């Protein structure tokens, strides 16, 4: 099949760790590669945000990235991209009409969905939508701090009813969409995946600090990721260091306001010597960081899916995670790790302390986590599940799916 991936702000070529660069970038890159490995022809369309970018960049066998001129060729926060989605959609339609009409178009994030529906309306290309995050959930947890355009929730509701399928990533998302009025018959549950060839238990590990357990968290440096809760928990977890991977490159952490805030909090909690901010790490080095940890802590306030949890599991690392969103699906409580209440540093500390002093349980969780990642979430398996959905909608009008 010819498969178009539309990811307006999250390029698979982007450097990870920034405010708008994370799980969606990885998802689009890895899914595209897995589909191409199965023989499909994949084009990823993303917004051109630099004058230095060529129009087309090969990403691997069967995958190429197309940079779409829409708005100024400069980096913009994703919440400022809505006015440019009409132009993005018109460019898509022109490309599909002129050179490369896809069999299906898979939009990632709501603004990509708007552009894709605009393009497909002229050409009859079936559209699938993955939201990656929902505005209703973001608004609930961030309130006045939510910088999303005010039309976001209404647009997401309309997209859910207009596209051929909404590809949901967890059961929590199904419930949220049902409350928005999206028919269950429009949804197909296919989670994200993990590269089990790269993320595996065997291999090198980053050296450890002698005499200390290592708690690893991998997250963008934004408040909702819950890193502050981990720092507040650390005084109750003696002989343990917290290593935070994510954010800007290590050399730029001193200038990052939130990194400075985290460092100040660690000092206030008298754990400054046990909190290490690493900054962004190249993707190929991440398995070694996971293998170095006694456990991964993922403690966001909300999480649509949570790729870092899958990566840790694939490396045989037990997980302590907030019982929110997609983490409830991924982490089997008491089998592959443990789920804890979000925004509860005291409860988090008790769980971390108990597990760090129970090596047998950690080993059991780690082995089960690795098995679960390989059996349920490997990218080839996920790509085959998505291909079945693509084949179902190809040639099926959206109204027939209601």
The token pair that represents 127 in the structure block: 């559209």
User: Is-same-fold flag (2-193+379-401; 213-376)?
Assistant: yes
- Give this prediction's pTM: 0.90
CB-based contact 210:194 (threshold 8 Å) = no
Number of H helices, E strands in the chain: 14, 14
Query: Model confidence over 107-121: pLDDT tens digits?
Result: 999 999 999 999 998
How many angstroms separate the CA atoms of 164 and 294, rounded?
43
CB-based contact 76:11 (threshold 8 Å) = no
**Mean pLDDT taken over the chain:** 94
CB-based contact 328:319 (threshold 8 Å) = no
How many angstroms separate the CA atoms of 397 and 402, rounded?
10
The predicted structure's pLDDT at residue 399: 44
**Which SS3 state, helix, strand or coil, does residue 148 take?**
coil
CB-based contact 8:112 (threshold 8 Å) = yes
The predicted structure's pLDDT at residue 121: 86
Superfamily the domain 2-193+379-401 falls into? Glycogen Phosphorylase B; (3.40.50.2000)
Residues in the chain: 402
Query: Model confidence over 77-96: pLDDT tens digits?
Result: 999 999 999 999 999 999 99
Query: Model confidence over 312-343: pLDDT tens digits?
Result: 999 999 999 999 999 999 999 999 999 999 99
The predicted structure's pLDDT at residue 395: 65
State mean pLDDT over 248-261.
95
Domain limits, the chain: 2-193+379-401, 213-376
The token pair that represents 237 in the structure block: 């977890």
The predicted structure's pLDDT at residue 20: 45
How many angstroms separate the CA atoms of 79 and 67, rounded?
19
What letter does residue 194 receive in the DSSP assignment? B
Q: What is the DSSP pairing of strand 2-6 with strand 56-60? A: unpaired
Q: What is the distance between the terminal CA atoms of the chain, rounded to a whole angstrom?
A: 24
The CATH class, in words, for 213-376 is alpha beta
């Amino acid at each position: 099949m010819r498969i178009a991936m539309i990811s307006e702000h999250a390029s698979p070529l982007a450097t990870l760790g920034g405010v708008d660069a994370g799980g969606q970038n990885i998802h689009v890159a890895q899914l595209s590669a897995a589909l191409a490995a199965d023989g499909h022809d994949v084009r990823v369309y993303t917004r051109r945000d630099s004058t230095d970018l060529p129009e087309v960049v090969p990403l691997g066998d069967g995958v190429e990235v197309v940079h779409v001129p829409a708005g100024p060729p400069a980096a913009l926060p994703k919440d400022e991209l809505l006015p440019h989605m009409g132009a993005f959609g018109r460019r898509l339609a022109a490309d599909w009409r002129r050179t490369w009409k896809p069999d299906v178009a898979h939009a990632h994030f709501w603004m990509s969905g708007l552009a894709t529906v605009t393009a497909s309306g002229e050409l009859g290309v079936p559209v699938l939508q993955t939201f990656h995050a929902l505005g209703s959930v973001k608004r609930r947890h961030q309130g006045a701090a939510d910088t999303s355009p005010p039309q976001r929730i209404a647009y997401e509701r309309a997209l859910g009813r207009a596209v051929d399928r909404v590809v949901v990533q967890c059961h929590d998302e199904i419930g949220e969409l049902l409350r928005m009025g999206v028919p269950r018959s429009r949804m197909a549950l296919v989670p994200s995946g993990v590269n089990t060839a790269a993320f595996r238990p065997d291999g090198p590990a980053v050296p450890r600090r002698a005499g200390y357990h290592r708690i690893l968290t991998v997250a963008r440096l934004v408040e909702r990721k819950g890193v502050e809760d981990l720092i507040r928990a650390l005084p109750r977890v003696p002989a343990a260091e917290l290593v935070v991977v994510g954010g800007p490159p290590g050399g730029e952490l001193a200038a990052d306001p939130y990194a400075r805030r985290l460092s100040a909090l660690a000092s206030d909690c008298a754990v400054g010597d046990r909190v290490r901010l690493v900054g962004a790490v190249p993707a190929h080095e991440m398995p070694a960081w996971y293998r170095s940890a006694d456990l991964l802590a993922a403690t966001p306030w909300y999480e649509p899916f949570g790729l870092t949890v899958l990566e840790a599991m694939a490396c045989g690392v037990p997980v302590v995670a907030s019982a929110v969103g997609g983490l409830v699906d991924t982490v089997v409580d008491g089998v592959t790790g443990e789920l804890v209440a979000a925004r509860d540093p005291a409860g988090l500390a008790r769980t971390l302390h108990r597990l760090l002093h129970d090596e047998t349980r950690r080993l059991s969780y780690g082995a089960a986590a690795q098995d679960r990642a390989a059996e349920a979430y490997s990218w080839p398996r996920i790509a085959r599940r998505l291909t079945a959905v693509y084949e179902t909608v190809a040639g099926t009008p959206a109204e027939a799916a209601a």
